[in-house]
Chain A
Amino acid sequence: MKLSERYNRVNLIATIVIMLITGAIYYLAISVILTNQIDKSLEVEEHEAFDYVKLNHRLPQVFESKDQQITFTPAEPNSVKREFINTGYYREKGASEAGRGLISSVTVNGRYYKLQIVESKVETEYLIQIIFGITIGVILLLLLVLLITNRLILSRLWQPFYSILGELKQFKVTDNSDIAPLNSPIDEFNDLHQEVTAMAERVKRDYKDLKTFTENASHELLTPIAVINSKLDTLIQTENFSPQQSKLLGDLYGAVSRLSRLNQSLLLLVKIENKLLTDQQTINLKELIEELLYQLEDIFSDKQITVSANFEDKEITASRYLIDILLNNLIINAVRHNHQGGGIIVNLTAEALVVKNTGESMPLDNERIFTRFHKSSSSEGSGLGLTISKQICESLGYQLGYSYEAAHHCFVVRF
């Protein structure tokens, strides 16, 4: 629910409730006042009748006028209590209307009469209806105007808020763009904007520090790794190793080269994110992939993997270094996760590069395969290959996607 919607709803309900209450009070007040008026005219009539009786010592002639009826009926002395009543008003035509009556008593020549004066309330009610109708109309009009102005004012008033929200939605910690400045006369929004800007800067600075740390740490690691590597190379020159010693040395070599690859991968990730690899050149993808497939020929034939390739000419402008890594990662993954006697299909069109391979007959988790250090337990890789590939694609404005189709794992790079 939107804020303005919520606000309008509360506003509307409150207004309607208050209007209803005031309407009721209004109605009651008007009807009390008008009834009082009728009562007064009834009293005037009563006085007239008394005056007439006092003067003429007989009952006045009963006649009907101005929607008023007077009746005199003989009654037991002192049996009538003077009071106003709501009663019916019966016209001769037989129709009955609401009426107001006054019951009183008069003594003429020693005889006791009950005096009843009834006046039709039709006129009064009609008046009330008109007044009430006009009031309701005004209320409705007021509500409508309120609603419209609320909507207009609210959306205009909240405009800065939505612009800040939009900035936040677009905020990327890896981006260099800052939060756009805001011009608002409202203090709260200015405060909010200030805080958001400060927070964005803080987050970016922290992220940058973290990246610098990763880069520095990886750099610092390079030298000791280089020393270990060179010492191992020197050590094996001393010869005369027992089988056990050479096995140990082989394991050491494996671990060191793995460590150094991992380190390079981390450095590479930082560089891609920092956009440090910006050398651009025209690359013929078709030639590059053909060369790579040739390079990896032994590896394919060892696993008896059949490679079927279908290339269209495609030239791109990008960093050669990054494209090498991307292609290498995709194709080596296709080999690594393949089974003996499996197949790899490489398709290159003007729109996309598709690398498909057979392998485990289970789709991979699309969400997780591109995250850092996610790998299957049987994988010998660093767990960074696909993360790096994804980052490379993003930095070049391509899209890297995964799908599982007809027993093939498909990785698609869309240019």
Chain B
Amino acid sequence: MKILIVEDEEGLRESIEEYFADAGNICETVATYQAALAKIQLYRYDCILLDITLPGGNGIDILKTLKAGGFPDGVLIISARNSLDDRLQGLDLGADDYLVKPFHLSELKARVSAIVRRKMFNGSNVLNFNELSIDLMAKTVTVHGVPVKFTRKELSLLIYFISNKGKVISKNAIAEHLWGDGMDMANNFDFIYSHIKNVRKKIMEAGGKDYIYAAYGMGYKFADQ
């Protein structure tokens, strides 16, 4: 994936860059409106992470420029302004998704992966990972070509893991992904555990490998080690 990060907050920009800079991913970063404008005129990206409030201008204008130029880059708006107007305006103008600060990097990665997948495979949206194959449209999972029944939450969890493969995902990030951020119950970590147990069991019963590792009681990691 080739990704452009337009974010003026240095700490956040660096974290995103580091999280995304994996094998096969190219990350470029800019901090200002003008620099972002210069980049999008010259290069094409699979996904642009666009902050709305930028020094020198408004991120929405960059989105307008992109769409006016007919560029196919995916756009994910990241904004501190959880205003519905911004969200609607952004999506109306052709942004692919909208994420409100603060967010977990794993959530950002999952959203970006979804955008890139949609751009790459028009329509037939299948996510493959070794012997696992997930049809994102039909919401079905096969292991070694054999269909396995997953509940909605388990499926959502599996996709989240595959999007963040090789990364440690905190329990908080998983909980917010599955139940939304309205959930703030201390014991929801237990539910995560039971969902993960089910996912692991279903994959292994169908002959798949165990890819989910617990990471020091803080979170989980999905990796092919």
Contact = CB atoms under 8 A, between A and B. Distances in A.
B201 interface: no
Interface string B1-17: 00000000101100110
Given A246-B217, A253-B170, A237 B185 contact: no
B216 A225 contact: no
Contact of A298 (B82, B194, B215): B194
B140 interface: no
Contacts, number: 128
A329 B184 CA distance: 11
Given A219-B80, A226-B80, A230-B105, A299 B185 contact: yes
Nearest to B167: A237
Nearest to B108: A230
Contacts of B184: 257-258, 261, 380-382
Interface residues of B, number: 47
A328 B80 contact: no
Interface in A217-251: 219, 222-223, 225-234, 236-237, 239, 241, 243, 245-247, 249-250
A236 B168 contact: yes
B103 interface: yes
B210 interface: no
B182 A229 contact: no
Contacts of B82: 264, 267
B94 interface: no
Contact of A234 (B19, B182, B216, B217): B19
Interface stretch (B34-42, B67-75, B171-179): B171-179
Contacts of A229: 102-104
Contacts of A329: 182
Contacts of A276: 83-85
B172 A239 contact: no
Nearest to A336: B185
A226 B103 contact: yes
Contacts of A380: 184-186
B204 to A, nearest CB: 21
Contact of A302 (B81, B173, B187): B187
A335 interface: yes
A409 to B, nearest CB: 18
B171 A237 contact: no
A227 B80 contact: no
Interface in B61-118: 80-85, 88, 101-106
Most chain A CB neighbours (cut-off 10 Å) among B12, B181, B194: B12
A256 B81 CA distance: 19
Contact of A325 (B19, B106, B182): B182
A227 B12 contact: yes
B55 to A, nearest CB: 13
Contacts of B176: 257
Contacts of B188: 299
Contact of A226 (B9, B185, B191, B195): B9
B101 A226 contact: yes
Given A233-B170, A250-B218, 10 more contacts: A227-B9, A230-B19, A234-B19, A239-B215, A241-B218, A261-B184, A264-B181, A295-B180, A332-B185, A336-B185
